[in-house]
Structures are given as C-alpha cells and as structure tokens.
Amino acid sequence: MRQYGAAGTLLLALLLIWEGLCRWLPVPTYILPAPSRALAALWQWRGPLFLEHLPVTALEILLGLGFSVLAGVAMAVAMHLSPLLNRALYPLIIASQTIPIVAISPVFLFWFGYTLTQKVAVVILITFFPVVVNTCDGLRSADPELLEWMRAAGASRRQMLRMVEVPAALPAFFTGLKVAAAVSVTGAVIAEWLGGQAGLSVYGRRAANNLKSPELFASVLLLSLLGIALFGLAAWCERRFASYTDRKTP
Amino acid sequence: MISSPVISSPMISIDQIDYAYAGASVLRGLTLHVLPGEFVSLVGPSGCGKSTIFKLITGLLAPAAGSIRVLGGPPAPGRVGYMPQRDCLMPWRTAVENAAAGLEVQGVTPAEARDQARALFADFGLAGSEAKFPHQLSGGMRQRVAFLRTVLGGHPVLLLDEPFGALDALTRAQMQQWLLALWERLGKTVLFITHDAEEAALLSDRVYALHGDAVEIPINLPRPRRYGMVTDPALLERRAAILREVGLL
C-alpha cells in the first residue's frame, strides 16, 4: 500500500481543491459539479446504477476481453508457429491500429443492431491488438541459446513451445493484458454511446442530455473504478502466474 | 578385430569433415575421435570453429563433406548430453526444476524428473539451493546446475562448451577441482571445449589444437588429478605444447 500513498494524497488534495472551487466560485452545477454532488448522485441512483447499468457494462467488457485473450493468444501462437501466417498477418494487425475505432464502430450497428454483440464487438476491436502483438513479441523473446540447447537435447517443437517459449512470453502477455484491461472500458463507452437500453455510458449520456452533470460524473466514476478493478485483476494474475519476474533483484 | 568392438569403437569419430559458413571455410579436413571413458579437450582461439564441431555432433548442423559417427550412428539431437557456453537455465524455474529439464524432454514426468534431480544435489555441491531461482545463484552454482542437467540426461557422452569460460579465475579453479573429482566417479566420456591451455592440460587425457584441422597432443599424466598439479613441471610442459600448437609460443 505504501507505493500508492503519494498518489492517493495528491488525488485527495486535487479533489479538495475541486470541491473548494465549486463551493466558493459561482460555477453552475451543470458546468462543473462538486465531487460531493457527484457522490450524492451516485448514492441517490445507486439502485439503477449498480443493479441495472454496471452489470451490463461489466458483462460487455468481460466478454470482449475474454474473447480477445482466447483468440489473441491462439492467433499469436499460430503466427509464431507458422512464419507464412506471421508474414501475412503481422503487418495487417499493425495497420488495423490506424483505423479510427470511433469512426468504424457504427458499422457494428448495421451488422448487429443495438445488441450485446455489437457492444462486445467494439470491445474486441480495441482490446485484440495489445493482446496479440504483445504475446507474439513475447513468444519471440525466448533465449535462442536455450532453444538450441532444447533442440540438441532432442526436444519436439511442442516441448520447446511449452517448456521455453510460453513461459518466456508470460511477462509480455501480461503487459498486453494490462493494456487491454485499461482500454477495454473505452471500448464499452464508445459502443454504448452509439445507443442502447442500459449500461453506464448509456446512463451517462442520458444524464448529459438533461444537463445532469452530477449523474454523468457518477457514471464516469463507476467506469474508471471498473477499469482500475480490471487492471488490478490482470496485475494480480501476473504476480500469481509470472511471479519470477518480480524477483529479478537478488 | 580381436578386441571387443564395444570397447575399441570410438564414442565420437569425425573423419575428414569440411564445413563452411556464409562462403568462408570454418573446418577443413578435420579428423578426430573420442574413445569410451576419455576426457578430450578442443583448444583453439575464438572463431576457430570449436562450437561448430559441437553443433555438427549434436546434429544441429550438417557437414559439407566427410563423415561423423556418434555412438556408432549418424549424429541426431538427443544422442549426447550438451552443455552450452552460457548456463542457459530457465529463469522461471528453480534449480531443481532446471536440473530436471533434460529428463522432461526425454518424456519423464516432471515429478519423477525432479526427484531424480534432487537426489543428486548434494553430490554436485548444490545442497540447500534446490528451491532457488537462477538469479539467486552465483555463476559457479549456475554452472553446476547446468552440468547436473546435462549429466541427468543419462547420455554416455557429454559435450561441454567452455563451461567455465565466464567465471572469475578463482571460481574457475574451484570448478576445475570439482569437475576432476566428479568426473572420476561419473564414468562419462567428455569432449570439452576451452581456450585455456592450462585447463585443457589439467583436465584431459588428450587435447586437439584446432586451426581448421586438428593436431593431437597426448597429455599422459596420472589420475586421479587435483587442481594443485597446475604448478607441476610435467603439466607446465604439456601446457607449453598446447600453446605451441595453437601458435602462441
């Protein structure tokens, strides 16, 4: 906890300054609500926010992120095992990042309508890249001399993958997972802004249309907490399954 | 042939091989052999093709001409134990798990492989280091784990590629003493690469000095040996002979 002390203190100070400014300056609430107003709104609408909108957004993110991890790792391994596949796909995957996701996401509306599938598709679009690229680079980062030792010892391709390349790829994979977890919330927000029945961003947009800034901020607060929780989960998995990277210093 | 072929036939025999890399000739007409139970060293300057010979013996490379026989057959991965220049341990595995890696490659279950590795830890001077990760071990200890991993493979022939090259002088002396004592008990055939003439003279039965082809230098010193013999006149004389052959005297 000590490492977060400085950041926590700064955040608290900024919130206090924000609160003070809103109280002592004649700022209309719809321009900038005080943090206390946002918290009050969160408490007032806790029922719909936590029971109706949060579960919808969380489901979209978890399904999208889960698909990206499974398909991204499978694709990275396939690209690693097949140089032809790697040459064909790698440049296209990099190039796909130049597509503005906000601009292309309405296409999913035409394909899937205002459905869960449409939201999950946007989350996949934004989280697939960090998973597949980091896993691919991680698989390639295995020590070539160690691989040569494995080959000389008579190891099969499968054994080299399982015993050397996959463990070597874990740190990079978790870096990709943490990035994907952080941006997955953005994906869900973009998808929900296009429209829908429920979700934190749907709620926030409705609030914004009615100039209810405290309610908008309440939904934004929940969205960032969701992102932090996902990032924390990914970081926990990293410590649990790639713990040797922690112990680099003797 | 009167003598039994099991005893007389070499573990490794290399006959008139050529090997070129990127158009430049690395080995030309190289001939050497290693008999069962022998400790043979290859000495030569960096870039003389020492490591290439090991890759040819393990079947990772194929010669342009000539023939190589390993244990009476063609070279193929998994037929000899190989210890690379760097320890090449897996940073995510403990010492025991690293030592067991070679057995796992051969299809032994991880639990059984770890048990076999743990049983030899004391013999290899590694007692107490079982659960340590490579970065928690000194250079000498990492080389012991790497050597144990090679020995555990169960192959009668071990190829050791400059195993002590990266160690400081004192640690290297300790490791040479350790290897001498251990090798006398293990009964393995060893082909050893080094660029240290003293190390080659101390450890070996025969030495090949390399520069494209190989010149044989018999050592003929009594065993068991110990590190203190490095100051014996007989050993100094062998060392001088090796240095002469590689062109340094």
Query: How much is the pLDDT for B46?
Result: 76
The tens digit of pLDDT for each residue in B74-127 reads 999 999 999 988 889 999 999 999 999 999 999 999 999 999 999 999 989 999
Q: Omega into B224 within 30° of 0, i.e. cis?
A: yes
The tens digit of pLDDT for each residue in A2-17 reads 788 999 999 999 999 9
- Residues from A contacting B (CB-CB < 8 Å) are 143, 145-146, 148-155, 159, 163-164, 167-168, 170, 242, 244, 247-248, 250
How many other CB atoms sit within 10 Å of the CB of residue A104? 12
Considering only CB atoms, which chain A residues are within 8 Å of B153? 153
The tens digit of pLDDT for each residue in A21-74 reads 999 988 888 888 999 999 999 999 999 999 999 999 999 999 999 999 999 999
The reported pTM is 0.86
Contact (Cβ atoms closer than 8 angstroms) between residue A137 and residue A76? no
Mutate to test the interface with A, among B60, B86, B92 (most CBs of A within 10 A): B92
Q: Using the predicted structure, report yes or no on whether residue B7 has a pLDDT greater than 70.
A: no
Terminal Cα distance for chain B, rounded:
41
Query: How much is the pLDDT for B210?
Result: 87
Q: How far is CA A193 from CA A122, A164, A184, A209, in A?
A: 11, 44, 14, 12
Distance from C-alpha of A51 to C-alpha of A35, rounded to nearest angstrom: 22
Distance from CA of B215 to the nearest CA of A (A): 27
Distance from C-alpha of A234 to C-alpha of B91, rounded to nearest angstrom: 22
Q: Which of B192, B186, B184 is nearest to B165 (CA)?
A: B192
Closest CB to B78 among A154, A167, A248: A154
**In this complex, is the C-beta atom of B91 within 8 Å of any C-beta atom belonging to chain A?**
yes
A247/B135 Cβ within 8 A: yes
Distance from C-alpha of B249 to C-alpha of B236, rounded to nearest angstrom: 13
This model of the complex carries an ipTM of 0.87
Mutate to test the interface with B, among A149, A151, A173, A241 (most CBs of B within 10 A): A149
Between vectors from CA B68 to CA B62 and to CA B72, what angle results, nearest 5°?
A: 130
Binning chain A into helix, strand and coil, the percentages to the nearest 5 are 85, 0, 15
Query: How much is the pLDDT for B3?
Result: 43
**In this complex, is the C-beta atom of B105 within 8 Å of any C-beta atom belonging to chain A?**
yes
Distance from C-alpha of B161 to C-alpha of A13, rounded to nearest angstrom: 61
Considering only CB atoms, which chain B residues are within 8 Å of A247? 133, 135-136
